[in-house]
Amino acid sequence: MNIHSDYSQRVVVNSNDLPWVPSPELGVERRMLERHGDELAKATSIVRYQPGSQFKSHRHDYGEEILVLDGVFSDETGDYPAGSYIMNPPGSSHTPHSEQGCTLFVKLRHLGSDSLEREVIDTKTASWYQGLVPGLMVMPLMQQGTGSTLVRWAPQTYFNPHKHYGGEEIFVVDGVFEDEHGRYPAGTWIRSPHMSLHQPFSKEGCTIFVKTGHLLD
């Protein structure tokens, strides 16, 4: 299965408009944003666990990133409420479940050998740092390899025009993100190819998950 598998193309998807597709495990469903392969796929998805559902033990040969959007996600290492960020490195394994249910933003099979140690961040309590323009705050997430970042935009924040070496991927966590190409409410996923150009801003304010430099393959 190939969904938005051409990295040379810009893609914009409002995940709220996509159907929930059942996974092999009862009570676990996915909205597929991009996918390269069948069940063992390089993929970006919104994943929903119904209360009491679980996924069988599995190994992540090329790693996994998770941002918990709502509810509480769990595995044998602990419980992770909304706002938790988890990076499971290549070669790791776990048995995920959720007692009360949860919704996740998940990236699978895209990490390299430079991502060695598991990382967990509570974004509700971690520090924000001043960005490159007034009104912009950043929170580094993955510290290894091609890192991921949360970026918070105060209302009426405008950034400089810039190009994306190695591309850029954005998921709008809350608020409304904008650029000259359009307006992107919460739940929107944007993938911009290598050396694409834009001038982003937010009139209303927003929080976005950003990953850059990983779209050269």
3-state secondary structure 36-74: ECCCCCEEEEEEEECCCEECCCEEECCCEEEEEEEEEEE
Q: DSSP state, 180? A: T
Q: Give just the sign of the alpha carbon dihedral 51, 52, 53, 55.
A: positive
Tens of pLDDT, residue by residue over 41-58, are: 688 999 999 999 998 887
Domains contained in the chain, CATH given: 10-122 (2.60.120.10), 129-212 (2.60.120.10)
Tens of pLDDT, residue by residue over 115-163, are: 678 899 999 999 999 999 999 999 999 877 667 999 999 999 999 999 9
Tens of pLDDT, residue by residue over 157-207, are: 999 999 989 899 999 999 999 999 999 999 999 999 998 999 999 999 999
Q: Within 13 Å of residue 168, how many CA atoms lie on the same side as its CB? A: 18
The tokens for 183 are 């307006």
Q: Using 50, 70 and 90 to split pLDDT, how confident is the model at 217?
A: low
